[in-house]
Amino acid sequence: MDAIRDLGARPEIPQDSIRDMGPRFEARAVNIADRIDVRGIDPRLSNRLPVTVAVDTGCAMLFRAGAVVFFGVDTLAQERFLHDLTPRIHGRYAVPESERATIRIGDADSVEPDALIVKESSIERMQVIAEILAKSVVLARNEQEIVTAFAAIEPLAVQMKRAPRRLPWRHSDLVRHIGEAMLVEHELVDRAEVLEKPELLWERADLDRLYARLEDEYEIRERHLVLESKLSLVTTAARTMLELTQARRSLNVEYYIFALILFEVALALYQIFRP
115 membership: H or E segment, kind and range: strand 115-118
Q: Measure the CA–CA gap between 29 and 225, rounded to whole angstroms.
A: 22
Residue 101 has a CB neighbour count (10 Å cut-off) of: 21
Walk along the chain (275 residues) and give the pLDDT tens digit of each residue. Answer: 444 544 444 444 445 556 677 889 999 999 999 889 998 888 888 888 899 999 988 999 999 889 999 999 999 999 999 999 999 999 899 889 999 999 999 888 899 988 999 988 889 999 999 999 999 999 888 888 777 666 666 666 666 666 555 555 555 555 565 556 555 555 555 444 666 788 788 778 889 999 999 999 999 989 888 887 777 776 676 666 666 666 666 656 666 776 777 766 766 666 776 66
Q: Which of 137, 120, 128 is nearest to 36 (CA)?
A: 137
Sign, CA dihedral 111-46-82-90, equals negative
Q: Could you tell me if 64 and 29 are in contact, meaning their C-beta atoms sit under 8 angstroms apart?
A: no
**Residue 39, helix vs strand vs coil:** coil
Q: Measure the CA–CA gap between 178 and 174, rounded to whole angstroms.
A: 6
Q: What is the pLDDT of residue 8?
A: 43
Q: What is the pLDDT of residue 89?
A: 93
Q: Measure the CA–CA gap between 69 and 123, rounded to whole angstroms.
A: 13
| Distance (Å) of CA 118 to CA 107, 114, 124, 140, 212 | 7, 13, 11, 25, 14
